[in-house]
Amino acid sequence: MAWDFSTDPEFQGKLDWVERFCREEVEPLEYVFPYAIRSREPKVRALVRGLQDQVKAQGLWAIFLDEELGGPGYGQLKLGLLNEILGRYPSAPQMFGAAAPDTGNMEMLAAYGTEEQKQRWLKPMLAQEMWSAYSMTEPQGGSDPNLFKTHAMRDGDEWVINGEKWFTSAGRVADILFVMCTNGMFVVPRKTPGVEIQPVPRNHNHIIYRDVRVPLDHLLGPEDGAKVLAQRRLGGGRIHHAMRTIAQCKLAFDMMCERALSRQSHGKIIAEHQMVQEKIADSYAAIRMLRLFVLETAWKIDNTSTQETRTDIAAVKYTMARVLREVSFNALHILGSLGTTDLTPLQAMYAGAPTMGIADGVDEVHKSTVARNVLKGYRPHEGYWPTEYFPAKREKAREKLEPLLQSDPELRTIADGYAKYFAGRR
């Protein structure tokens, strides 16, 4: 049987290079030149390009794309192992050309775009000469497409879009917006007249589309095909978030263990206090279980599809938010007052955990999805008693063994003794 938890040596070499490259090159650049990836300074851009050339030389650029879509085609399992490293460093995903929300948008373009659309948008996005945002959720409908109201009407050789979108992450700094309408997915340049970005929220933007006109060829994929495109985008996106969440959890765990061995309280290092040990032990187990769950889900996607694996993807989505919340909370408490400040990553992790439970669909919706899908594999029992009701099972077992008991009086006597014993316990 095939059941392997190891990584082949050749790909492990890639992982070792990525870990070393992120630690020695990407992280220092981020601390000296924050947001270097989007810098307009030519000299800073040159530093970024130099690092990205190294990434490309390793065959690690745009790692999220399948081979038939123009990427390296690593598959979700290998992508999970890579993201487990990249997620530890804030700018690493962009340094590898694999940061949300662009990844999902590029995947939609690669899978459903025409050749002209790929030349116009996908090629510059891959080169990080153009940035995008995903405009899906709505104030009144949340992330449920059945409640959306944003609609595109055809008027001659143009589409006219009207509606309101909420939580369009990075919409303010995007060059193009992928707008999910009730009748299709549309690519809208941000500077198109009628695109009104509201002043708040600052990072996850509220956008009103008021008589926004785009040419007919700005429809991505088939008309009325927005839900199919969205599922293609979000299925992979959720598992990628989970992979990077593991990296964040491991970072918080490393910080709590280091701190536990470095501080003293009541005459001994705090690692010797049982309540601290409990937090470390619980965090360790939670991270290990999440990691195995995520990697198994990635393996299932590689061997089937995101559609076939939708139950596990949904379960991973709400599990990762819970584990990040619990582990970052434990780490924050072990670091004490320092953990409550913005001088370490912990406060941002803990503050971000609730958002993770809402973004890409609230946890409650995913839990309902998991429960409904799981229950499809079960049937109600007949009569009053559940399948595992002991008296009924003993009765059926006695019927099955009755021919044997008839042929062996000694066995019947022993069986009758047990029957009398269980009858007396009622």
Are residues 108 and 210 located together in one domain of the fold? no
Are residues 245 and 317 located together in one domain of the fold? yes
CATH number at residue 245: 1.20.140.10
- pLDDT value at position 282? 98
Classify strands 176-181 and 132-135 as parallel, antiparallel or unpaired. parallel
Q: What is the pLDDT along the chain (426 residues), one digit of tens a residue?
A: 677 889 999 999 999 999 999 999 999 999 999 999 999 999 999 999 999 999 999 999 999 888 877 788 898 999 999 999 999 999 999 999 999 899 999 999 999 999 999 999 999 999 999 999 999 999 998 888 999 999 999 999 999 999 999 999 999 999 999 999 999 999 999 999 999 999 999 999 999 999 999 999 999 999 999 999 988 787 667 778 898 999 999 999 999 999 999 999 999 999 999 999 999 999 999 999 999 999 999 999 999 988 899 999 999 999 999 999 999 999 999 999 999 999 999 999 999 999 889 887 889 999 999 999 999 999 999 999 999 999 999 999 999 999 999 999 999 999 999 999 998 886
Are residues 403 and 359 located together in one domain of the fold? no
- pLDDT value at position 131? 97
- pLDDT value at position 285? 98
Are residues 247 and 195 located together in one domain of the fold? no
**How far apart, in whole angstroms, are the C-alpha atoms of residue 126 and residue 264?**
50
Q: Tell which residue, 328, 327, 224, has the closest CA to residue 281.
A: 327
Are residues 311 and 260 located together in one domain of the fold? yes
Number of other residues whose CB lies within 10 A of the CB of residue 20:
11
Contact criterion met (CB below 8 Å) for 81 and 7: yes
**How far apart, in whole angstroms, are the C-alpha atoms of residue 386 and residue 37?**
60
Domains: count for the chain: 4
CATH number at residue 50: 1.10.540.10
User: Residue 346: which H helix or E strand, with range?
Assistant: helix 346-356
385 occurs within a structural domain: no
Domain that holds residue 419: 390-425
DSSP classification of residue 171: G
Are residues 297 and 270 located together in one domain of the fold? yes
pTM of the model: 0.90
CATH number at residue 170: 2.40.110.10
Are residues 52 and 91 located together in one domain of the fold? yes
Are residues 22 and 64 located together in one domain of the fold? yes
**What SS3 string covers 200-266?**
CCCCEEEEEEEEEEEEHHHEECCCCCHHHHHHHHHHHHHHHHHHHHHHHHHHHHHHHHHHHCCCEEC
